[in-house]
Amino acid sequence: MPKQKEPRELPTILVADDDPEILKMVQAALKPVAARLVTALDGEQALSALLTERPALVILDVMMPKLSGWEVARYIREHDQGRRVKVLMLTAIGEALNAATSPVMGADACLDKPFNFEELATQVRTLLGSDR
């Protein structure tokens, strides 16, 4: 009798943005990606979710209340438990500023708002390193 494959555990993606409409759009864009989504409305919620949910990928807006996305990204990179976490900055600060600043703050990739749903899903799949 052939051995059945064990189901793979879905990766967790944390999406942090202070705009509930953007959160809804990101959730819609990532429907085709096999992942569990967790959301946060500010930087402090994102940090708390990071510690409790242990996501594989964090999608961050830059300008959020309490802690900025850059502060959360820096925290991820400064702490050992976060070194495996991928970071995608998804923000409307401007393409040039996002591209120049995101890598310095520890982001693996950046995407500008408004974003294309397919482009976001492709970027997420690439960062997760899978065909999800």
pLDDT tens digits, 17-60: 999 999 999 999 999 999 999 999 999 999 999 999 999 999 99
CA-nearest of 22, 4, 24, 40 to 12 is 40
pTM: 0.86
Query: Number of H helices and number of E strands within the chain?
Result: 5, 5
Tokens of 97: 């500023």
Determine which helix (DSSP H) or strand (DSSP E) holds 131, and give its type and residue range: none
Tell me the residue length of the chain: 132
Kindly report the average pLDDT of the chain as a whole number: 86
pLDDT band at 117 (very low <50, low <70, confident <90, very high): very high
Distance, in Å, from the CA atom of 14 to the CA atom of 53, rounded to the nearest integer, reads 8
pLDDT of residue 24: 96
DSSP reduced 3-state for 86? strand
Structural domains of the chain ordered from first start: 12-128 (3.40.50.2300)
Q: Any idea what DSSP says for residue 80?
A: G
Q: Is the dihedral of CA 111, 114, 119, 122 positive or negative?
A: positive
Mean pLDDT of the 106-123 span: 91
pLDDT of residue 3: 56
pLDDT of residue 79: 83
CB 22 within 8 A of CB 113: yes
